[in-house]
Amino acid sequence: MSRVIWLVLDSLGLGAAPDAADYGDAGADTFGHIAAACAAAARGPLRLPHFTRLGLPQAHAAAHGRAAAGFENMPAPEALWGHAVERARGKDTPSGHWETAGVVLTEPFGVFGQAEDSFPSELLQALVEQGGLPGVLGNCHASGTEIIQRLGAEHLSSGRPIVYTSADSVFQIAAHEEAFGLERLYRVCELARGLLADYNIGRVIARPFTGNADAGFSRTVNRRDYALPPPAPTLFDALQADGGEVIAIGKIDDIFAHCGVSRVIHAYGHDALFDATLTAMAQASNHRLIATNFVDFDMVYGHRRDVFGYAAALEALDARLPELLHALRPGDLLAISADHGCDPTWPGSDHTRECIPALVHGPGLGARAVGQRSSFADIGQTMAAHLGLPPLAAGRSFLLPD
């Protein structure tokens, strides 16, 4: 039996998807625009020797039509490499992960489209009454870091939590971790999750923060996501049913609403997430799937439009990749993907509709281009095939002949 290690580089898009114009994202290119900004800056070109070994910039070149700046002369990859297009409508974290795990959404998640007065009054009234709240602040589209600076002091003085959304399918609630209370924030989010049943909103997100008006406010690591459950069994469920285990690291368990997850390891920051992945690899026996989401690419750098922070985080993860590659055992398969784009050069602070990496590597697996995949589900089907599972409902394995 075999093992799979699945790394999700949250938001690392490889260029606009064929239907990106439908989302206002024609021309978006997370990887390409970061590379271009680095090549034009004093810091110099983006340096990713180990991701290049696995085919990441080569996959971008295939998806985008030309090599990114600084990657004009690339060696042949040592992995199966390509890019994948999302079939589900949207550019959401849950839909991207679920599709990769074999479940393609046929209907898009709901969104709250109005920039101001975003939420229905009856929804907010129910949240206030059932949550015992003095009211709410915000009720708009906003960046999470900006809105706590703008409304944090009023939140402290009034006791009203801050509610906000974006172009994505989210209902976010921010509150002071100490003054409002972390467990109270979680309870309000659980209440909101129930109240949103008729709106088909993908996630309710608890956004705790600390600080004060004089020193400013900052979010803490105690974020929690309350996602809708996948509408059908995923790769995770299939592996569990076959006697295997799924080890979820970071926010993976929240994204899948804990469905099909055998063990949860919470870690915060890319180094801690990487360390947790290495520890799980050292301990896990056969017929195991270790899934890790590297959220800071999206949460810390993409949404905040921090181009060079994103670049530095990519280079830092690249520098650690040899540790993981050396830890692979015979029979292991490493899959590297993303869930959507979040181009840090793009207007606004929302996700972008992009192709994603589809990279697969393992001892003795060989190397070849797998081209453009018509669904993220091809990545999950490849993982399922490697684990010896029955075929998932969607996707075609890279391991099958073309």
Q: Are residues 98 and 245 in the same domain?
A: yes
Q: Across all residues in the chain, what is the average pLDDT?
A: 95
Q: State pTM to two decimals.
A: 0.92
How many residues are given for the chain?
Answer: 402
What single-letter amino acid sits at 374?
A: S
Q: Where are the beta strands (DSSP E) in 259-391?
A: 263-265, 288-293, 332-337, 356-361, 368-373
Q: Are residues 138 and 212 in the same domain?
A: yes
Q: With 90 as the cut, is the pLDDT of residue 77 above it?
A: yes
Q: Are residues 234 and 325 in the same domain?
A: yes
φ/ψ of 71, rounded to 5, equals -125, 35
Angle ∠(138,142,144) on CA atoms, nearest 5: 95
Q: With contact defined as beta carbons under 8 Å apart, do 138 and 163 qualify?
A: yes
| Residue 401 belongs to some domain of the structure | no
Q: With 70 as the cut, is the pLDDT of residue 189 above it?
A: yes
Q: With 90 as the cut, is the pLDDT of residue 90 above it?
A: no
CATH code at position 222: 3.30.70.1250
pLDDT score recorded for residue 131: 97
| Residue 392 belongs to some domain of the structure | no
Residue 136 is part of which domain span? 121-226
CATH code at position 264: 3.40.720.10
Q: With 80 as the cut, is the pLDDT of residue 402 above it?
A: no
| Domain final residue, candidates 226, 258, 282 | 226
Q: Are residues 217 and 235 in the same domain?
A: no
Band of pLDDT at residue 168, cut at 50, 70 and 90: confident
Q: For 113-155, write each residue's pLDDT tens digit.
A: 899 999 999 999 999 999 999 999 999 999 888 999 999 999 9
Band of pLDDT at residue 76, cut at 50, 70 and 90: very high
Q: Are residues 212 and 359 in the same domain?
A: no
| Residue 114 belongs to some domain of the structure | no
Q: Are residues 191 and 256 in the same domain?
A: no
Q: Are residues 73 and 194 in the same domain?
A: no
| Residue 112 belongs to some domain of the structure | no
Spatial neighbors of 356 by CB under 8 A, at least 6 apart, are 12, 13, 14, 83, 84, 86, 96, 337, 338, 339, 340, 341, 376
Neighbours of 80 (CB within 10 A): 23
| Domain final residue, candidates 226, 242, 260 | 226
Three-state SS sequence of 209-236: EEEECCCEEEECCCCEEEECCCCCCCHH
| Residue 160 belongs to some domain of the structure | yes
Q: Domain count of the chain?
A: 2
| Mean pLDDT of all residues in 291-313 | 96
| Mean pLDDT of all residues in 4-26 | 97
With a pLDDT cut of 90, the percent of the chain lying above it is 92
φ/ψ of 130, rounded to 5, equals -75, -25
Q: Are residues 45 and 145 in the same domain?
A: no
| Residue 402 belongs to some domain of the structure | no
Q: With contact defined as beta carbons under 8 Å apart, do 107 and 231 qualify?
A: no
Q: Are residues 244 and 351 in the same domain?
A: yes
pLDDT score recorded for residue 23: 93
pLDDT score recorded for residue 400: 79
pLDDT score recorded for residue 336: 98
What single-letter amino acid sits at 146?
A: E
Q: For 342-378, write each residue's pLDDT tens digit.
A: 999 999 888 999 999 999 999 989 899 999 999 999 9
| Residue 397 belongs to some domain of the structure | no
Q: Are residues 7 and 76 in the same domain?
A: yes
| Residue 359 belongs to some domain of the structure | yes
Q: With 70 as the cut, is the pLDDT of residue 281 above it?
A: yes
Q: Are residues 222 and 247 in the same domain?
A: no
Band of pLDDT at residue 1, cut at 50, 70 and 90: low
| Domain final residue, candidates 226, 241, 260 | 226
